[in-house]
Structure 1
Amino acid sequence: MKRRLNADATMDGIMRETPATIRVVLQHGMLCVGCPIASFHTVFDAAREHDQDEDQLRHDLEAAIESDVG
């Protein structure tokens, strides 16, 4: 079963729950790792703040989560 990101999940929570997502965040050129705002930003917020395509970021994060699970 494919896990989906919750719309309310914060970037910090996502990275803490599935450390494999840290690589995705860094590959997107985002410096959310260790950022105090990451505990408040959702994927939508982070994508907007870093001028990223939200759908692509969400897809890449979900792929990392899925590969970590399976």
Structure 2
Amino acid sequence: MPSDATPCPICGRPAPRRPANRSHPFCSDRCRLIDLGKWLGEAYRVPGPRAGDGAESPGRPVEQEDEP
């Protein structure tokens, strides 16, 4: 692999750096679109609690009414 290239995270082929390769860090537009499809299909996930799983959010505090 040339020293100015990194392995493509999708297929492993050499991926030259920019400006020679507009798809960097991928080797081609095809691999870039495969990666985008994985994100959109939720194959990749960011760790943490899921929204709506009962975890408290840092929103506004609940207002309590004073009793007379």
Q: What's the TM-score, normalizing by structure 2?
A: 0.30
Q: Which is greater in Rg? A: 2
More helix by share: 1
Higher relative contact order, chain-length normalized (CA < 8 Å, sep 6+): 1
Structure 1 length-normalised TM: 0.29
